[in-house]
C-alpha cells in the first residue's frame, strides 16, 4: 500500500492545480450537468480511482455538488474486504458518502474478466438508479485506452480503433471517463502530491489476464510508437463522434422510439435520402440494439443480411428484433421469445425496470392485447397504433382499476408501471431514453 511521505509543498499544490484544470476541461466537454451536480465515482482503492475521486470531489464541491464513492468488492481475493474497508476509511476522512457492494454467490471458472466487469457495471448502474444519480465516473486512463485498442485489434475488431468512449450511456446513467487524457504516471503523481495512500492489486501483474499481458507488451514500445498510437486513437475518436452525431440526426429524422419497447421507421423518407451504406447500417443497427435489449449490437453480417431482405421488400430479423413493413413504414419489434433472464428482480425482459412489488407479465392472448390497446387509448398517448406483434414482449400489470402498460408513466407519473430502460439508449450523444420516461416518440 504505497503512500507518499512528501509534504504538501507549493510544487505539490501546483501539480494538483494543473491536474484540476485538465480535469475541469474534460468535465466541461461532457456538458449536461445540473447546477449542483451529484456524481457517483467508482473507487477500487487503486491510484487511478483515488485520483479520480479526489479530483471529482473538488470539482463537485466547487459547484455546490457532491460525490458518492461506490466500491464493488469482487470477492475474488482474500484481501478484497480489507481493501474495501480502506476505501471506506478514506471517504470517511474526506466526508464523502461511500457505498460498498459485494459480489455475492458463486464465481465463474472461466471468462472471469468479462463476467466480473458485467457484474460491476450492473451494480454501479443500479446504484445510480437507487440514488437518483445520472453521472457515473470511472477511472480509465490513456494507458487503459491503448490496451483496449490493442486487444480489440488483436481480435480483429476493427470497429474498436477508437477504444472506449469518453461518454457512454447505460440504463440509468451516463458513464463518463474524464481521465482518458491522463497517463498512469499523472494519476500516481496526484496521489503522491495529496499524500493519498493507494492499493496495488497483485492480480494486475498476473499473466493469466489478457489485459495484463497487453499492458506489459505495450510497456516495451518506444515512446514514438506510443505517441503515434495515441494520435491514431484520437483520430478514430473524432471519426466515431462524427458518426454518433450522424446517427443521432438519422434517428431524430426517421425513427420513433416508443417507451413501450418498439420503434417505427419512416422507410420512404429514409430511403429517399442520399445513400450512405455505413451510416445506414449504423442507424438500423442502433435502433435494433435499443429495441432488442441485448448487451452487444447486431453483428455486421446480420445487418447486411437484413438489408438485403428489406431492399427486396421482405421482412427480416436482426439483433433480437423482427423487422416488418406496415403503418406506412418499417416496424422494429422485439422478437416474441422467452424473455431474457433478469439481472435482478426489478428488470423484466432485459429492457424494463419494474417498480418494487408490481407483478408484471406479457399479454397472454387476444383479450390481454385488447386491454393493452384500450389502456393506451385511454392514456391519450398519441402513439401510432402498433401491430399486434408489438404486444408480445410488453409487460402489463393488472392494477385494482384495470390494466397498466409501460410507457403510461410518461403520461401519468403516478401510474405503477414498468419503464422502458434498454441496455443501449437510442443514441450516444444527442438523445437518450433517460429516467423519467423521456423518449423520441412524439
Same domain, 66 and 185: yes
Which range, of 10-14, 103-107, 162-166, 405-409, averages the lowest pLDDT? 405-409
Same domain, 199 and 314: no
Same domain, 25 and 124: yes
CATH code of residue 169:
3.40.50.620
Cβ distance 262 to 291 under 8 Å?
Answer: yes
pLDDT at 141: 93
SS3 (DSSP) at 403: strand
Predicted confidence (pLDDT) at residue 57 exceeds the cutoff of 70: yes
Higher pLDDT, 314 or 432: 314
Using one digit for the tens of pLDDT, what is the confidence trace for 230-277?
888 888 777 777 777 888 889 889 998 887 889 999 999 999 999 888
Percent of the chain with pLDDT over 90: 38
How far is the CA of 299 from the CAs of 195, 304, 318, in angstroms? 48, 9, 9
Domain count for the chain, please give it.
Answer: 2
Using one digit for the tens of pLDDT, what is the confidence trace for 297-330?
888 899 999 999 999 999 999 999 999 998 889 9
Which phi and psi angles does 38 have, rounded to 5°? -110, 130
Dihedral of the CA atoms 116, 120, 126, 128 (nearest 10)? -170
Same domain, 211 and 253: no
pLDDT at 16: 95
Place of cell 459547484: 63
Highest mean predicted confidence (pLDDT) among 14-28, 158-172, 230-244, 360-374: 14-28
Q: Return mean pLDDT, the chain.
A: 82
Same domain, 63 and 130: yes
Q: Specify if 232 maps to a domain.
A: no
Same domain, 314 and 354: yes
Cβ distance 299 to 281 under 8 Å?
Answer: no
Q: Give the range of the structural domain holding residue 388, as residue numbers without chain letter.
A: 248-420
Using one digit for the tens of pLDDT, what is the confidence trace for 373-423?
877 777 665 566 788 888 888 888 877 767 777 765 555 556 667 788 887
Strand stretches in 279-383, DSSP E: 316-318, 321-326, 329-334, 347-348, 352-353
Q: DSSP code of 38?
A: E
Confidence of residue 436 (pLDDT cuts 50, 70, 90): very low
Cα–Cα distance for residue pair 121/429, rounded to 1 Å: 20
Helix (H) or strand (E) holding 256: strand 255-257
Cβ distance 170 to 134 under 8 Å?
Answer: no
Pairing of strands 329-334, 321-326: antiparallel
Pairing of strands 135-137, 174-176: parallel
Same domain, 168 and 87: yes
Cβ distance 1 to 199 under 8 Å?
Answer: yes
Cα–Cα distance for residue pair 26/45, rounded to 1 Å: 22
Amino acid at each position: 500500500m504505497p503512500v507518499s511521505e512528501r509534504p504538501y509543498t507549493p510544487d505539490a499544490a501546483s501539480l494538483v492545480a494543473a491536474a484540476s484544470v485538465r480535469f475541469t476541461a474534460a468535465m466541461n466537454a461532457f456538458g449536461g450537468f445540473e447546477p449542483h451536480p451529484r456524481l457517483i465515482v467508482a473507487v477500487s482503492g487503486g491510484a487511478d480511482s483515488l485520483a479520480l475521486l479526489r479530483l471529482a470531489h473538488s470539482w463537485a464541491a466547487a459547484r455546490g455538488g457532491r460525490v458518492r464513492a461506490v466500491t464493488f468488492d469482487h470477492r475474488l481475493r482474500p484481501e478484497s474486504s480489507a481493501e474495501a474497508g480502506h476505501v471506506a476509511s478514506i471517504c470517511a476522512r474526506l466526508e464523502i458518502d461511500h457505498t460498498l457492494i459485494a459480489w455475492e454467490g458463486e464465481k465463474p471458472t472461466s471468462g472471469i474478466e468479462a463476467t466480473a466487469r458485467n457484474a460491476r457495471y450492473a451494480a454501479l448502474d443500479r446504484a445510480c438508479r437507487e440514488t437518483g444519480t445520472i453521472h457515473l465516473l470511472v477511472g480509465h486512463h490513456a494507458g487503459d485506452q491503448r490496451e483496449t485498442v490493442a486487444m480489440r485489434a488483436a481480435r480483429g475488431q476493427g470497429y474498436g480503433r477508437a477504444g472506449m468512449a469518453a461518454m457512454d450511456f447505460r440504463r440509468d446513467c451516463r458513464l463518463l471517463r474524464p481521465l482518458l487524457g491522463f497517463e498512469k504516471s499523472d494519476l500516481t503523481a496526484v496521489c503522491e502530491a495529496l499524500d493519498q495512500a493507494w492499493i496495488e492489486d497483485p492480480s494486475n501483474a498476473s499473466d493469466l489476464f489478457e489485459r495484463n499481458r497487453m499492458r506489459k507488451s505495450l510497456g516495451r514500445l518506444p515512446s514514438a510508437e506510443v505517441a503515434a498510437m495515441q494520435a491514431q486513437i484520437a483520430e478514430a475518436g473524432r471519426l466515431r463522434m462524427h458518426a454518433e452525431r450522424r446517427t443521432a440526426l438519422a434517428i431524430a429524422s426517421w425513427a420513433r422510439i416508443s417507451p413501450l419497447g418498439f420503434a417505427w421507421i419512416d422507410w420512404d423518407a429514409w430511403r429517399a435520402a442520399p445513400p450512405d451504406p455505413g451510416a445506414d447500417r449504423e442507424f438500423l443497427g442502433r435502433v435494433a440494439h435499443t429495441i432488442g435489449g441485448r448487451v452487444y449490437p447486431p453483428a455486421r453480417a446480420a445487418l447486411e443480411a437484413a438489408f438485403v431482405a428489406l431492399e427486396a421488400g421482405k421482412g427480416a430479423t436482426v439483433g433480437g428484433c423482427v423487422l416488418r413493413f406496415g403503418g406506412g413504414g418499417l416496424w422494429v419489434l422485439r422478437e416474441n421469445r422467452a424473455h431474457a433472464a433478469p439481472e435482478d428482480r426489478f428488470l423484466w425482459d432485459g429492457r424494463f425496470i419494474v417498480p418494487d412489488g408490481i407483478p408484471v407479465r406479457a399479454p397472454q392472448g387476444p383479450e390481454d392485447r385488447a386491454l393493452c390497446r384500450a389502456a393506451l387509448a385511454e392514456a391519450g398517448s398519441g402513439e401510432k397504433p402498433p401491430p399486434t406483434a408489438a404486444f408480445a414482449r410488453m409487460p402489463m400489470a393488472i392494477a385494482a382499476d384495470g390494466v397498466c402498460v409501460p410507457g403510461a408513466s410518461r403520461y401519468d407519473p403516478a401510474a405503477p408501471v414498468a419503464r422502458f430502460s434498454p441496455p443501449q439508449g437510442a443514441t450516444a450523444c444527442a438523445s437518450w431514453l433517460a429516467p423519467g420516461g423521456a423518449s423520441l416518440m412524439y
